[in-house]
Amino acid sequence: MPVLAIIGFIGGFILVMIIVFSGSTNPFLICSYAAFEGLALGGITRVFETYAGYPGMGILAAALTFLILGAMLLIYRAKIIQWDRNLAIAVSSALLAIILIYLISFIGLFLGFEVPLIHGSGPIGIGFSLFVIGIGALCLVADFDFIEKGIERGAPKQLEWRAAFGLMVTLIWLYIEILRLLSKLFTLALAGTTLGVVEGIKPGPLLTMVFRETLSGGFKAGLWTAAAPIFTDGPLIIVSLIAAGWLATNPAALLIISVVGALFLTKMGVDCFSIEPPNLDIGQKDTSNSFKRGILTNLLNPNVYVFWFLIGGPLMALYVEIEPLAPIAYALTFLLSIIITKSIIALILDRTRGNFSEKGYRTALRVCGILMLGFSAGYLWQAWLLAPQVL
């Protein structure tokens, strides 16, 4: 590990101990902690990207960290999760268990042993990483609650540094854990995040419904509508995972579906340069059952089925034999990205109340189009490599 990263970890550890146990709100100490952690995170990211051979992982980990931050803020604002006594006890207990495991692992570095399974890329290792990231996300709720209650009670201005420090520690922890998870399942997680953001921005029936519900019922209605893919895409993901195993042993079928998928992606990419943004003037008086309307809208959209069988299946088939759990990373990152992207659009729309910049939206669409054409080229290349096995 680079020397500057080691200095960063040591300096950051010393400062976090001083700040936590002294209750300090000194801006100099907190800013110094941020600087040391910058060195540490830069070093560990370089290790993953350069020495471990995962270029681009730092950007993806940072993007996922802020996506989780945005998602938890949206959930907290919508009052779906509130920081109460029961949640505090559950999260605190989980944190103590995680800290104990970390401590045992650290001691093991000097004694020549390690905690089995949790550091590997098997089901237990991936499950542990997901659990830790989930607890980290819930810690963000505690940070939001501390900030909100501090404002309500008129806390001294100096406490804003304490709030910023707590939020920064949580985000740093999340970033490191996401890096560890991505090191196990990087390629499909990158594809899932990219395609999720693309599909989240691209206009369609569900996004139009998100606009409608937000305009008529506010942000909470739009958020529930944006969450529809959890239930509509879930069964299709399971079928695609099963189909992925079959496709992996049938190169002819994989070649055909890759070509068809490339044509479909090309069409979607080209459409992004001419498609009109959703109609912002559509409104509904009935604001109940937003979630049900979102599910129905997505179930009736044929592109959802086409996407998972022509795009999701071939991608997962490439990796299911190498790492059986890799497709799960693709599915989870895709769902997380598409839901958060649509939720952010709903929040922006709710704040601007219909004054969403058409120029900005069209620019985003063009970027989506370029990304879609890039994926299409990748599918054609995959078909080209499969051709000798079939012909």
Per-residue pLDDT tens, the chain, 391 aa: give them: 567 788 888 898 899 889 888 888 888 999 999 999 998 888 888 887 776 666 778 888 888 898 889 888 888 887 778 888 888 899 999 989 888 888 888 787 677 777 666 666 566 777 788 888 889 999 999 999 999 888 888 888 888 898 999 999 999 999 988 888 877 666 667 777 777 887 788 776 677 778 777 766 677 777 888 888 877 777 777 776 666 556 656 778 778 877 887 887 787 778 778 766 655 554 444 445 677 777 776 666 556 666 666 666 666 666 665 556 666 677 777 888 888 888 888 888 777 755 556 676 677 667 767 877 887 887 788 788 888 888 7
Between CA 240 and CA 249 the distance in angstroms is 15
| Contact predicate 337/192, CB 8 Å | yes
- 315 sits in which H/E element: helix 313-319
State the virtual CA torsion across 317, 318, 324, 330 in degrees, nearest 10: -80
Give the model's pLDDT for residue 331.
Answer: 75
Query: Cβ(261)–Cβ(382) under 8 Å?
Result: no
Based on the number of CB atoms within 10 Å of its own CB, is 173 exposed (0-12), middle (13-18) or buried (19 or more)? middle
180, 189 in Cβ contact below 8 A?
no
Both tokens of residue 14?
């010393």
Q: What is the CA radius of gyration of the chain?
A: 23
- Other CB atoms closer than 10 Å to residue 251's CB: what's the count? 17
Which residue's structure tokens are 């806390």?
A: 155
How wide is the angle at C-alpha 170 spanned by C-alphas 167 and 173, nearest 5°? 150
- Establish how many alpha carbons lie within 13 A of residue 198's alpha carbon, considering only the half-sphere containing its beta carbon: 22
pTM exceeds 0.85: no
368 token code pair: 């989506």
Q: Are 277 and 362 in contact (CB under 8 A)?
A: yes
